[in-house]
Amino acid sequence: MSDTERKDTPEQAEFRQYCRDWIAANAPAETSVRLPLSPLEIMTTEQLDYLQDWQKRAYDAGLVGCDYPVEVGGGGRNDCQRVANAEFITAKTPFFPNVIGLGMAAPTVFYHAQEEKKQALLPRLFSGEDIWCQGFSEPGSGSDLASVQTFAEPKGDKWLINGHKVWTSLAHFAEWMIILLRTSKDHKYDGLSYFVVPIRSALGKGVTVRPLIKMTGETGFNEVIFENLEVDDSYRLDEVGKGWQVAMTTLAHERGAGQLITPQAGGRVQRKEGEEESEQGAASLIALAKSSQRGGKTAADDPVIRDRIMKEIIREEGFRQSRRRSRVQGLIDDPMRIPLQHKLRQSEIAQDTAQLATEIEGAASSLYIADPNAPAAGRWPMAHMNSYGFTIAAGTSEVQRNILGERVLHLPKSK
Amino acid sequence: MSDTERKDTPEQAEFRQYCRDWIAANAPAETSVRLPLSPLEIMTTEQLDYLQDWQKRAYDAGLVGCDYPVEVGGGGRNDCQRVANAEFITAKTPFFPNVIGLGMAAPTVFYHAQEEKKQALLPRLFSGEDIWCQGFSEPGSGSDLASVQTFAEPKGDKWLINGHKVWTSLAHFAEWMIILLRTSKDHKYDGLSYFVVPIRSALGKGVTVRPLIKMTGETGFNEVIFENLEVDDSYRLDEVGKGWQVAMTTLAHERGAGQLITPQAGGRVQRKEGEEESEQGAASLIALAKSSQRGGKTAADDPVIRDRIMKEIIREEGFRQSRRRSRVQGLIDDPMRIPLQHKLRQSEIAQDTAQLATEIEGAASSLYIADPNAPAAGRWPMAHMNSYGFTIAAGTSEVQRNILGERVLHLPKSK
Amino acid sequence: MTQPVNFGFGEEETMLRDSARKFFADNLPVDQLHAVIAADSDPHRDLEAGWKPELWQQMVELGWTMLAVPERAGGLGMSAAAVAGLCEEAGRAAFPSPLLPTINCSYLLAACGGAAADAALEAIVGGAAASPALIDSRGSWEEADTDVAVVDGKLSGTAYYVQDAQKVDYLLVKARQGDALALYWVSIDAAGIEVHADAIVDLSRDQARVSFDGVEAVEVSGDAAAAVATAMPAIWTMVSADMVGAAEWELQTTVEYARTRTQFEHQIGFFQAVKHPLVDAMVEIDQSKSLVYNAACAIDSEPENATRFAHMAKASASDMAVFASSRAVQFHGGIGFTWECFVHIYFKRQNHNQVLWGDGAWHRARLANILIGVAA
Amino acid sequence: MTQPVNFGFGEEETMLRDSARKFFADNLPVDQLHAVIAADSDPHRDLEAGWKPELWQQMVELGWTMLAVPERAGGLGMSAAAVAGLCEEAGRAAFPSPLLPTINCSYLLAACGGAAADAALEAIVGGAAASPALIDSRGSWEEADTDVAVVDGKLSGTAYYVQDAQKVDYLLVKARQGDALALYWVSIDAAGIEVHADAIVDLSRDQARVSFDGVEAVEVSGDAAAAVATAMPAIWTMVSADMVGAAEWELQTTVEYARTRTQFEHQIGFFQAVKHPLVDAMVEIDQSKSLVYNAACAIDSEPENATRFAHMAKASASDMAVFASSRAVQFHGGIGFTWECFVHIYFKRQNHNQVLWGDGAWHRARLANILIGVAA
The distance from CA D256 to its chain's CA centroid, rounded to whole angstroms, is 27
Instruction: Chain B: list its partners (3+ Cβ pairs within 8 Å).
Output: A, C, D
Per-residue pLDDT tens over the stretch C192-244? 999 999 999 999 999 999 999 999 999 999 999 999 999 999 999 999 999 99
- Rounded to 10 degrees, the C-alpha dihedral B73/B79/B84/B90 comes to 160
Per-residue pLDDT tens over the stretch C6-46? 999 999 999 999 999 999 999 999 999 999 999 999 999 99
> Is pLDDT at A264 greater than 90 in this prediction?
no
Is the torsion defined by CA of C62, C65, C67, C69 positive or negative?
Answer: negative
d(CA C348, CA B388): 13
Average pLDDT on B88-117 reads 94
**3-state secondary structure at position D177:** strand
> Is pLDDT at A272 greater than 80 in this prediction?
no
Phi and psi angles of residue D141, each rounded to the nearest 5 degrees, phi first: -120, 5
Q: How many residues are present in chain D?
A: 376
d(CA B193, CA B150): 11
d(CA D353, CA D246): 10
Phi and psi angles of residue D351, each rounded to the nearest 5 degrees, phi first: -70, -30
Helices (H), A152-231: none
**3-state secondary structure at position A135:** strand
Average pLDDT on D205-231 reads 97
Phi and psi angles of residue A134, each rounded to the nearest 5 degrees, phi first: -125, 130
Query: Do B344 and D258 make contact, defined as CB atoms within 8 angstroms?
Result: no
d(CA D250, CA D273): 17
Residues of D in contact with C273 (CB under 8 A): 272, 276
For chain A, what is the mean pLDDT?
Answer: 91
CA-based nearest distance B323→chain D, Å = 9
**A105 contacts A134 by C-beta, under 8 angstroms:** yes
Task: Report the complex ipTM.
Answer: 0.94
* D35 Cβ contact partners less than 8 Å away, ≥ 6 residues apart: none
> Is pLDDT at A2 greater than 80 in this prediction?
no
| Element at A158 (helix H, strand E) | strand A158-166
| Element at D19 (helix H, strand E) | helix D11-27
d(CA B289, CA B300): 5
Helices (H), B329-378: 342-361
**B221 contacts B169 by C-beta, under 8 angstroms:** yes
**A309 contacts C281 by C-beta, under 8 angstroms:** no
**D116 contacts D185 by C-beta, under 8 angstroms:** yes
pLDDT of residue C357: 97
* D374 Cβ contact partners less than 8 Å away, ≥ 6 residues apart: none
**3-state secondary structure at position B150:** coil
Candidate from B40-49, B152-161, C52-61 with smallest mean pLDDT: B40-49
CA-based nearest distance C197→chain A, Å = 35
Helices (H), B182-274: 243-254
Q: Which of D146, D134, D201 is nearest to D353 (CA)?
A: D201
d(CA C44, CA B368): 9
> Is pLDDT at B165 greater than 90 in this prediction?
yes
DSSP state for residue A72 in the 8-state scheme: G
In this structure, the number of other CB atoms found within 10 A of the CB of residue C36 comes to: 16
When pLDDT is cut at 50, 70 and 90, the band that residue C72 belongs to is: very high
> Is pLDDT at A355 greater than 90 in this prediction?
yes
Per-residue pLDDT tens over the stretch B206-263? 999 999 999 999 987 899 999 999 999 999 999 999 999 999 999 988 877 778 888 8
pLDDT of residue B275: 41
Half-sphere exposure of A45 (CA within 13 A, CB side): 2
When pLDDT is cut at 50, 70 and 90, the band that residue D241 belongs to is: very high
d(CA D228, CA C67): 66
d(CA D129, CA D123): 9
For chain C, what is the mean pLDDT?
Answer: 97
The b-or-e profile of C302-340 (16+ CB within 10 A means b, else e) is beebbbbbbbbbbbbbbbbbbbbbbbbbbbbbbbbbbbe
Per-residue pLDDT tens over the stretch C119-172? 999 999 999 999 999 999 999 999 999 999 999 999 999 999 999 999 999 999
More confident residue, B258 or D259: D259
Q: Which of B273, B262, B255 is nearest to B85 (CA)?
A: B262
Of A212, A294, A367, the CB nearest to D198: A367
Reported in sequence order, the residue ranges of chain D that DSSP labels E, i.e. its strands, are 130-133, 148-151, 154-163, 170-177, 180-187, 193-197, 207-215, 218-221, 262-263, 266-267
d(CA B257, CA B395): 15
Cβ–Cβ pairs < 8 A, chains B and D: 157
**D131 contacts D162 by C-beta, under 8 angstroms:** yes
Supply the Cα-derived Rg of chain D in whole angstroms. Answer: 20
Per-residue pLDDT tens over the stretch A87-143? 998 898 999 999 999 999 999 999 999 999 999 999 999 999 999 999 999 999 988
Q: Is B354 on the interface with D (CB under 8 A)?
A: no
d(CA C70, CA C87): 18
Per-residue pLDDT tens over the stretch B360-372? 999 999 999 999 9
For chain B, what is the mean pLDDT?
Answer: 91
**3-state secondary structure at position C262:** strand
Q: Which of C165, C206, C181 is nearest to C348 (CA)?
A: C206
Q: Is B170 on the interface with C (CB under 8 A)?
A: no
Query: Do B371 and C199 make contact, defined as CB atoms within 8 angstroms?
Result: yes
Q: Which of C209, C127, C123 is nearest to C166 (CA)?
A: C209
Residues 187-226 of B with CB under 8 A from C: 212-218
Residues 17-56 of C with CB under 8 A from A: 17
What are the CA-CA distances from residue B139 to residues A20, B144, C259, C335 (Å)? 67, 11, 16, 8
Query: Do C276 and D273 make contact, defined as CB atoms within 8 angstroms?
Result: yes
Of B298, B309, B405, the CB nearest to D278: B405
When pLDDT is cut at 50, 70 and 90, the band that residue A256 belongs to is: confident
Cβ–Cβ pairs < 8 A, chains A and C: 156
* D171 Cβ contact partners less than 8 Å away, ≥ 6 residues apart: D130, D131, D132, D133, D159, D162, D165, D185, D186, D188, D193, D210
| Element at C210 (helix H, strand E) | strand C207-215
Please tell me which residue of chain A has the smallest CA distance to B302. A303
**D318 contacts D350 by C-beta, under 8 angstroms:** no
- Rounded to 10 degrees, the C-alpha dihedral A251/A256/A257/A263 comes to 100
Query: Do A341 and C11 make contact, defined as CB atoms within 8 angstroms?
Result: no
* A300 Cβ contact partners less than 8 Å away, ≥ 6 residues apart: A286, A289, A290, A292, A306, C372, C373, C375
What DSSP string describes D252-298?
HHHHHHHHH-EETTEEGGGSHHHHHHHHHHHHHHHHHHHHHHHHHHH
When pLDDT is cut at 50, 70 and 90, the band that residue A270 belongs to is: very low
Is the torsion defined by CA of C266, C267, C271, C273 positive or negative?
Answer: positive
| Element at B19 (helix H, strand E) | helix B10-26
Residues of C in contact with A304 (CB under 8 A): none
pLDDT of residue A266: 64
Per-residue pLDDT tens over the stretch A17-46? 999 999 999 998 888 888 877 788 888 899
pLDDT of residue B260: 86
Q: Is C258 on the interface with A (CB under 8 A)?
A: yes
Instruction: Chain D: list its partners (3+ Cβ pairs within 8 Å).
Output: A, B, C
| Element at A254 (helix H, strand E) | helix A243-254
Phi and psi angles of residue C153, each rounded to the nearest 5 degrees, phi first: 75, 5
More confident residue, A82 or A255: A82
Q: How many residues are present in chain B?
A: 415
d(CA D93, CA D56): 14
